[in-house]
A and B are shown apart, each in its own frame.
Chain A
Amino acid sequence: MVAYIVYLQQIPELLRKWSSSHDVYVPTRVEDHFYEFRPWQEKMHIAWDYDLAYSPLKVFFMPPREDLIHFDLHNYTASPVIKKTRQLLFGVHPYDIKAINQLDQLMGMDGIDVNYQNLRDNTVIFGLEPARLAETAFWAGVDAARVDFGFDLFWTRISPGAFLVRVGSAQGEEMLKMGSSMTSATAAEKEAARRIHLRTAARADKQSFGFTWTQVPEFMNKFYSRKLYWREKAKTCLSCGSCNLVCPTCYCFDIQDETDDHLKTGKRYRQWDGCMLEGFARIAGGLNFRPNAWERYRHRYMRKGKYIYDRIGELGCVGCGRCVKACTAKIANPREVFREIREAIKNEV
């Protein structure tokens, strides 16, 4: 893979150039231990060593609320609303890239989701080797410690003042070359980056679940009917949907209408929904296919551990640990659920 060396002091110049054509977002500290991707501004402190961005990056491709059509009630016409904002996400960790790769597949299945696709096509992703690991993260266990595609450039900090930048796309290379005098990386520098990755991956491995994720779909399938387990797990579930909101691979949505005060024009928008919310599976007449919190809790884990796997061959969980942090009842924890189910099944045999 082609790789370059970029020095820390070259970055502001690059960011200035990139921001002339793209909305640039970088990780930054917003409060003590909270990091977020925020619009880049001159002199902004970039948190190169951030452990986890609080919000999932789906916000950039599937905004929490997004117009789908604008309609006219008078002559009954409607027109599509499709955003094509050019964005650059600089500093995305591999697990988050993996989540975006999954969304690319899921939103492209059975007909492309044009709203997602247009934002995605116009977004450039610069990956970053994580320097730190969130306490709640377990991405090494679900094969998300590294990604081989889904980025335009991938940055590894090989010394306090220098990054090794691997090229993932022609557009990424072009954007990198907007800077003055980029030097190609030497074999030694590439080796340094590889070692840094191995070190990170080794640390992450300690926070994994100790067995290969490929066993999970089968366990989940076997455990679906264990109502006692699911009831016990979800006993304190508040059905708040926080785990859905912060999950980088959850993409369910609701569709609603809104009109102006004169009932002349309006818009139809979609907004994030969550399978943990009480009315999610309710149909006309009031019948609810998942009326109890434990059924919804089970559905969510089945989706992460089995249903998504059946579609794309990967777990629908990238191990970011966001849900673990967000859950008020402290019951959202895929690592714990997968591990417990595996233990239970192992002990039965």
Chain B
Amino acid sequence: MKSDFSPYVPRPATLVAKNTLSEYVTLFEFAQDSGKTLAHRPGQFIQVSVYGVGEAPFSVSSPPQSDHHHFELAVRRTGSVTNALHNLQTGSKVGIRGPYGSYFPMQKFVGQDLLFVAGGLGYIPIRSVLYYMLRHREEYGDIILLVGTRHPGERIFTDQLEEISRRSDVHVLETVDMPDENWQGNVGVITTLFPKIRINPENTNVAMIGPPVMYRFVIDECAKLGIPQERIYVSLERRMKCGLGKCGHCQINGINCCTDGPVFCYTKIANLPEAF
């Protein structure tokens, strides 16, 4: 049995739609050729293959879909695989493996408030969690979404963010580090949004994803608000090559980001110097 099964063999999927989100970021919608749902959980990643170019890990950006087999990835054009993805036409095929890794504990969040902190491309995986919660809105308490970007030109999912911010049951705050002449909103790093929010520390969970430099500062802000460490969740980026806890590339001190992560409760990594 085990002889001819290999976890390295990808499954085929087809590119159904491509939408430009910013100069470098594109949203890709794929459908699994098997017709089966991806069955991922918010925060998990998959390995995407463009045969002949290579394979790279991406967090799934869409929420779990139990009713159909499409899923979305938002990808920044930065290396060989991401460039190859950007050059694909709709109808092209890719290979996928996974989903892999840990995920946000959606069951644990039931009945509680959630504070999302998304820095830059960190919004991509956050989106999976957020839309899952919006779909089951009545099961969760207050939702606050903080989004920080370097330039207004790097903002992604702007239409959807505007749509969400019009809802009365989600509080959305956005900021940019370096505004241009048209920017009307907040200016400053993401922590400058913290004085503008009111949360109940007894009942609030935090889900944060952003560039490594962001975490320490946001965690400090959370501490000031009185949110205990065991209710802070982060997702970390590493270069997972195998996704199976073997190849060693994604090691954070003694743990593997691909199998122990990418989503961690802060208490699990607070003592790991290599985490951020």
**Residue ranges of A at the interface with B (Cβ–Cβ < 8 Å):** 68-69, 71, 73, 76-82, 84, 106-107, 109-115, 117-118, 224-225, 251-259, 263, 266, 268, 270, 273, 275, 280-285, 287, 289-290, 299, 302-303, 306-307, 310-311
User: How many residue-residue contacts, CB under 8 A, span A and B?
Assistant: 131
In Å, the complex CA distance between A273 and B3 comes to 25
Least CB distance from A68 to B in Å reads 4
Q: In the bound complex, do residue A284 and residue B76 qualify as a contact, i.e. CB atoms below 8 Å apart?
A: yes
Q: B52, A273: Cβ atoms under 8 Å?
A: no
Q: Are A306 and B254 in contact (CB under 8 A)?
A: yes
User: Can you list 11 A-B contacts (CB < 8 A)?
Assistant: A71-B52, A78-B9, A79-B9, A80-B9, A112-B2, A113-B246, A252-B247, A255-B241, A256-B54, A284-B79, A310-B254
Residues of the A chain whose Cβ atoms lie less than 8 Å from the Cβ of B273: 224-225
Q: A251-B248, A253-B241, A254-B247 are in contact. Are A82 and B3 (CB under 8 A)?
A: yes
Name the residue of chain B whose CB is nearest to the CB of A308: B254
CA of A115 to CA of B7 in the docked complex: distance in angstroms? 10
A-B pairs, 7 with minimum CB distance: A252-B248, A80-B6, A307-B254, A76-B93, A110-B245, A259-B52, A68-B8
Once the chains bind, are B247 and A273 in contact (CB under 8 Å)? yes
Tell me whether B239 and A113 are in contact (CB under 8 A): no
Q: In the bound complex, how far is the Cα of B245 from the Cα of A251, in angstroms?
A: 11
Other CB < 8 Å A-B pairs besides A82-B6, A114-B2, 12 of them? Answer: A69-B9, A71-B51, A76-B95, A80-B9, A84-B3, A115-B6, A118-B3, A251-B246, A252-B247, A268-B8, A273-B249, A307-B254
Given contacts A283-B238, A302-B253, contact A255 B6 (CB under 8 A): no
Q: Which A residues touch B72, using CB under 8 A?
A: none
Docked complex: B28-60 residues within 8 A CB-CB of A: 49, 51-56
Closest Cβ of chain B to A230, distance in Å, is: 12
- Contacting pair A289 B238 (CB below 8 A): yes
Bound-state Cα–Cα, A225 to B9, Å: 41
Whether a CB of chain A sits under 8 angstroms from the CB of B174 is no
- Greatest chain A CB density within 10 A among B78, B237, B254, B259 is at B254
Report the separation of the CA atoms of residues A111 and B247 in the bound assembly, to the nearest whole angstrom.
13
Judging by beta carbons under 8 Å apart, are A266 and B9 in contact? no
Annotate B192-231 by CB proximity to A: 1 below 8 A, 0 otherwise: 0000000000000000000010000000000000000000
Asked whether, in the complex, the Cβ of A263 is within 8 Å of the Cβ of B52, the reply is yes
